[in-house]
Structure 1
Amino acid sequence: MFTLRDRRTGDLFDRWSDLGEKRRRLLERSWAGVFRKHLLENLPVDELSHHLDDRLGRPSKDLHVVIGVLILQQLHDLSDRATVEALAFNMAWHYALGVQSEADAYFCEKTLRNYRRLFIAQGLDELLFQRLTDRLVRAFDVDTSRQRMDSTALRSAMRSLTRLGIVVETISKFVRELKRSDPALHSRIDADMIRRYVDCEGDGAFANTSPSVSRRRLLEAGQDLLALALQFRGTAAEQLSSFAILERVLRDQFDVVEDGSGKLATPIAIVRKPADVPCDTVGNPADPDSSFNAHKGQGYMAQIVETWCDDDPDGKGNDTANVSSPDLITHVEVHKMTVHDGHRVEDAMAGLETRNLKPAMLLGDSHYGAGETKAMMRTREIDLVAPMPPAKGALSGRLTLEDFALDASGLVLRCPNDIKPTSTSASRVRLQARFDLSDCRRCPDMLRCPVQADKYDGSFARFQYTPVRVANRKRRLYEQSKAFLDIYRWRAGIEATMSRLKHQMNLANLRVRGMPAMRYVVHLRALGLNIHRCARVGQGI
């Protein structure tokens, strides 16, 4: 039954008067004071109340306290048991949540888990983050015209598995779930397979596989995986989530081919080459939503957008920051590792625009600096300040168009070794410079130069490039100027935010798995960091 207390009506007696002036001031200036003053009355209780009956059932907990406890649990990175104890005994929690009765000061762990499960299932974490962040932006008069964006890799609570480990854990997970849900179907599984994959006992158990024989054992495990898939297709086992994972692992890790021909043909599983395995494959059946990135490993990617202000306007390193306006995280998104950062900019800016938080200037690293992304931001009247990705070959030490001297129309004047071309030409789609091949052969940079011998005329060397490359060269040279660097240096501040999220808010050591739970935790911990920052402003730090 739905229970809600009117918090807009003041109390007849101040139950905090016995704290004394100093202790009361400490509470008001802490995170508890920020939460009580600015957020407690703005919690989205209406969205949660739809799932409770007005008349039937036991009275629910006060929904303000329920939502507040979920936020404070992530703000302090507490386990369920520690959260229940903090609600029962912590004075700062009582002050922040406005706890007045014994009933509000206690949750059992099951109640906490049930409400959290409901929150995650309904996706209310994003709504909660946006509504309360918007409230903090208005309360602290935060300037949202200048923001910066970056991403960070996150890892859920899962082990790193080899390819053999993925197959073994997938089979074990399916067999165990089938035993719980349908014992009759489970009885059809070969007892030797249960011994090897679930009990891990006796000869042939995969728990004792050495690295030297893992590839041979992977082929054996693949045949067992295929046998289970063929055995239970078309049965009630197809409805199990573990069977869907089994089919996905079989599809990603193996190629199923026919051995033989005619009626005697039998399907067999052939191990795929590592290069042929998709990055979006299952890395651990305990968390099938995670994905793989060659640079950052297995896990999830989080996009973060935050405000920033120029606290050094004269460029002399003087600390003139306005302590009344904190830098707040305005946008959070969790997605797969396989999605490029540049593809998430438009959705982030569209979301900020609907909340009236659209920036006039957005800072980002080179992952966001592609020409298409910059043009897209111009249509939204946003100045995207981000360097272009390095030119192809530049990182390997090869010469690029940026090393050549060009005239105003984009034609080559001199090469990096001050050799002038014998002729230049330009068309609508291509520009060209021709050099004397004898000069190029005497050049010390011949092996790393983009100028190549003309296959039609053996006495010349040719260098061709497009007008787009000319525009990119102009942009890359501008990015080395003082005017660009004076603005772009403020992007580095978001690295400190990422560090605080991972270490102060402990996103580096998560206890959850799965995309919905990851989104829930990241949204609420980003909100928690915003609360901490507002509290520091109140303390004059």
Structure 2
Amino acid sequence: MFEENNEHHQEKLFSPVKDLPPRIDEKLQNHWSTHFYQHIFTQIDETKFGRLYHDGYSRPNKPVNELVSLEIIKHLLDLSDEELEYAYIFDFRVRNALGKETLGDNICEKTFTNFRRRLMEHEEETGQDLLHEVFEDHRSYFQDEFEIDASTQRMDSTFIEANIKQLSRVDLLAKVLHNFLCDLPKEIVQELPAGIDEFADTDNLELSYQLEPGEIPATMETLAEHTAWLVDRFEDDDEYAELESFAHLQQVLDEQCYRIAEFEDDEDVDDSDDQRQPGDDSSPDWQPLRTYTSPEEKTETDQSEENTELSGEDTDDRSDHVGLKEPDAIDSGSLQNPHDEEATYRYKNGEDYHGYKANVAETCNGENPFRLITAIRVDTNNTDDGDLLDEDIPELSAETGLRDLLVDGGYTHKEVEKRCRDQEITQHFSGITGQRPAEEKMSLAAPEWDGTRMVACPAGHEPFDQNHYETGRISGKMEKEFCDGCPHRENCFVKEQQQHYSYGFRERRVEIAQRRKRLDDPAEQEFLKLRAGAESLINEMYHKDGEKATFTGKIKVKNGSIAKAIGRNLKRASGFLESEAKREKSAG
């Protein structure tokens, strides 16, 4: 049952706080925990979380403003759940941040995990991100309370390593196979074809360390065949097909392997019944072709005999029914580890990344009392920076008053740039992807443009005919009398025709050329120096080159980043308030 927490408004008649000496009390008033209570805890709207709890008669919930605040404090102080539990019970800094003057309350780790689970399930069911709404309220409050100008902001992204072990392909196949076998009853596992049951043993989970390099391809083929056989065998069995481990088994088969179609019967086949193989009754499509057994356990003769018994024919006459995809054919969104099925793969600057990407923005106007983090967005690490920015454009424009956004070349995205212009946001790029045109060639930014219409060429002449097509292409025609004797003729982008000179190119090329021209402007170069601080923002939030996530699953990783962003804002505000208090004391 949901109840709001108003107990913190009631002052205690007796408490240790009231007995503090004046100098200690002054320190407490300027401590981050007091600032947390004043500017974070009291601003949390608990009513938004009421839908997470049962409406009927039941035990009252643990106060929501306490649980949300504890999530923020966890990342602010870098605590584990166990440390957070004891901090709630015994640490007066945490007690003070929650508006408590005495000890005596208890909490357990499971309370934290249950609250995170409720947040995740609610977001999955409704799409409503309650913790992000807390961040939005927090951002608006801080911007108003401290009179922060957010018209100029900078943005950057970083990778967050998933809290998973990086598995090779052979280990991934063995892992999902093992997980499904562990979910099957032992009597069923014992009845499976020879070789499959061996992967229920944990000794076969790190094959990449046990096998010689030359043994890995054949072992991967064997694992793929076992995986396909199990999928065919249990996909129509609702009791086991609904298991998460079976879904992972099927996903890996689809992503890592491909099916080889059966050969149709032809005139050379006398009797189709003669083509049946042992095991066709339980898996009519095909029979696994190999079994895996370590070299120490089986001689070559034993291997040959077992394969003959399993397939019912000579090994040279068999044909595979499943193959392994080439590495380049596997999508970056494929399953990396069943422990976190939402983590994806990204290769950048010679490094492999498995996990997520965080996109962060902050104010960078030098006249503000401190820098305020205004946006935090988390998605899979194969998401483009432009797509992450796209989600925040309307909000940053309407809620924070953003007008100038400093980003790097990774945020180049035609549709996103248009949306920024529609919201009256000017993007300032610190770099541009792609090669710079040759210096001897005239830039498309040299003419005077009004959108897609050329007002005047570099020599001051206007085309007599211009067109702008829905495909994004622009074209025009110039009088010969203007171009024949023009000093820019050799380097110009126009081409000579019989009756005139003409040009034609995509409007996107004009936009890029104009952007390069702005980059060469000394005033723009000076303004872009504000972008350099974006790297320190990433280091402050995630340390160098990202960090390993504490949680698994995109929603939990995202919520952790949101809590961290609120905590960083509080720390910055607390530093400002403390310095202001010292300045006032010194002046007094």
| AA aligned opposite 2:341 | P
Is the 2:81–2:109 contact (alpha carbons within 8 Å) kept by the matching residues of 1?
A: yes
Question: TM-score normalised to the size of structure 2?
Answer: 0.73
Mapping for residues 402-481 of structure 1, pairs under 5 Å: 428=467, 429=474, 468-481=508-521
State yes or no: 1:166 paired with 2:172: yes
Counterparts in 2 of 1:268 and 1:538: CA distance versus 1, 3 Å: same
In the alignment, which of 226, 229, 232 is matched to residue 228 of structure 2?
226
Offset of residue 115 of structure 1: 2.3
Counterparts in 2 of 1:341 and 1:206: CA distance versus 1, 3 Å: closer
State yes or no: 1:282 paired with 2:335: yes
Q: After superposition, what is the alpha-carbon deviation per residue over 1:177-232, rounded to whole angstroms, capped at 9, x for unaligned?
A: x24xx667656544632323533269x97762233322222111111111111111
Offset of residue 532 of structure 1: 1.0
Q: After superposition, what is the alpha-carbon deviation per residue over 1:100-121, rounded to whole angstroms, capped at 9, x for unaligned?
A: 45553x2122223222322333
| AA aligned opposite 2:116 | R
Is the 1:432–1:465 contact (alpha carbons within 8 Å) kept by the matching residues of 2?
A: no
Q: For 2:458 and 2:394, how far apart are their aligned partners in 1?
A: 41
Counterparts in 2 of 1:387 and 1:2: CA distance versus 1, 3 Å: closer
Give secondary structure in 1 for the equivalent of 2:62: coil
Counterparts in 2 of 1:6 and 1:384: CA distance versus 1, 3 Å: same
Offset of residue 79 of structure 1: 1.1
Counterparts in 2 of 1:491 and 1:259: CA distance versus 1, 3 Å: same
Offset of residue 387 of structure 1: 4.7
Question: TM-score normalised to the size of structure 1?
Answer: 0.79
In the alignment, which of 297, 300, 305 is matched to residue 356 of structure 2?
300
Counterparts in 2 of 1:43 and 1:479: CA distance versus 1, 3 Å: same
State yes or no: 1:351 paired with 2:357: no
Q: For 2:141 and 2:546, how far apart are their aligned partners in 1?
A: 24
Equivalent in the alignment of 1:155 = 161
Q: For 1:157 and 1:300, how far apart are their aligned partners in 2?
A: 10
Counterparts in 2 of 1:466 and 1:69: CA distance versus 1, 3 Å: closer
Equivalent in the alignment of 1:120 = 120
Give secondary structure in 1 for the equivalent of 2:401: coil
Q: After superposition, what is the alpha-carbon deviation per residue over 1:416-461, rounded to whole angstroms, capped at 9, x for unaligned?
A: xxxxxxxx9997545899xxxxxxxxxxxxxxx999xx9xxxxxxx
Mapping for residues 182-193 of structure 1, pairs under 5 Å: 189-190=192-193, 192-193=195-196
| AA aligned opposite 1:300 | Y
Considering only aligned residues, what root-mean-square deviation do their CA atoms show, in Å? 3.6
Q: For 1:232 and 1:54, how far apart are their aligned partners in 2?
A: 41
Q: For 2:509 and 2:65, how far apart are their aligned partners in 1?
A: 57
Q: For 2:333 and 2:521, how far apart are their aligned partners in 1?
A: 40
Q: For 2:102 and 2:244, how far apart are their aligned partners in 1?
A: 43
Equivalent in the alignment of 1:421 = none
| AA aligned opposite 1:268 | H
Counterparts in 2 of 1:426 and 1:269: CA distance versus 1, 3 Å: farther
Is the 1:369–1:388 contact (alpha carbons within 8 Å) kept by the matching residues of 2?
A: no
State yes or no: 1:373 paired with 2:373: no
Equivalent in the alignment of 2:405 = 362
Mapping for residues 31-42 of structure 1, pairs under 5 Å: 31-42=32-43
Is the 1:225–1:250 contact (alpha carbons within 8 Å) kept by the matching residues of 2?
A: yes
Range with greater deviation from structure 2 (117-126 or 279-288): 117-126
Q: For 1:379 and 1:28, how far apart are their aligned partners in 2?
A: 45
Q: For 1:375 and 1:59, how far apart are their aligned partners in 2?
A: 49
In the alignment, which of 524, 533, 537 is matched to residue 497 of structure 1?
537
| AA aligned opposite 2:111 | T
Give secondary structure in 2 for the equivalent of 1:345: helix
Is the 1:399–1:450 contact (alpha carbons within 8 Å) kept by the matching residues of 2?
A: no
| AA aligned opposite 2:361 | V
Give secondary structure in 1 for the equivalent of 2:339: coil
Equivalent in the alignment of 1:87 = 88
Equivalent in the alignment of 1:23 = 24
Equivalent in the alignment of 1:444 = none
State yes or no: 1:238 paired with 2:281: no
| AA aligned opposite 2:216 | S
Equivalent in the alignment of 1:314 = none
Q: For 1:492 and 1:121, how far apart are their aligned partners in 2?
A: 39
| AA aligned opposite 2:512 | N
Give secondary structure in 2 for the equivalent of 1:539: helix
Offset of residue 76 of structure 1: 1.6
| AA aligned opposite 1:219 | E
Structure 2: give runs of 5+ residues left out of the alignment.
Answer: 124-129, 266-271, 276-284, 287-319, 449-453, 468-473, 479-490, 497-501, 581-588
Q: After superposition, what is the alpha-carbon deviation per residue over 1:290-317, rounded to whole angstroms, capped at 9, x for unaligned?
A: 1122216221111112112135xxxxxx
Q: For 2:492 and 2:241, how far apart are their aligned partners in 1?
A: 57
Equivalent in the alignment of 2:8 = 7
Structure 1: give runs of 5+ residues left out of the alignment.
Answer: 312-321, 414-423, 434-448, 455-461
Offset of residue 144 of structure 1: 1.8
Q: For 2:196 and 2:216, how far apart are their aligned partners in 1?
A: 18
Equivalent in the alignment of 2:73 = 72
Matched-pair identity in % = 21
State yes or no: 1:327 paired with 2:371: yes
Q: After superposition, what is the alpha-carbon deviation per residue over 1:309-360, rounded to whole angstroms, capped at 9, x for unaligned?
A: 135xxxxxxxxxx5xx221111111112222111232320223356x22312
Q: For 2:41 and 2:515, how far apart are their aligned partners in 1?
A: 48
State yes or no: 1:56 paired with 2:99: no
Counterparts in 2 of 1:196 and 1:63: CA distance versus 1, 3 Å: closer
Mapping for residues 194-273 of structure 1, pairs under 5 Å: 194-200=197-203, 208-235=210-237, 236-262=239-265, 264=275, 266=286, 268-273=321-326
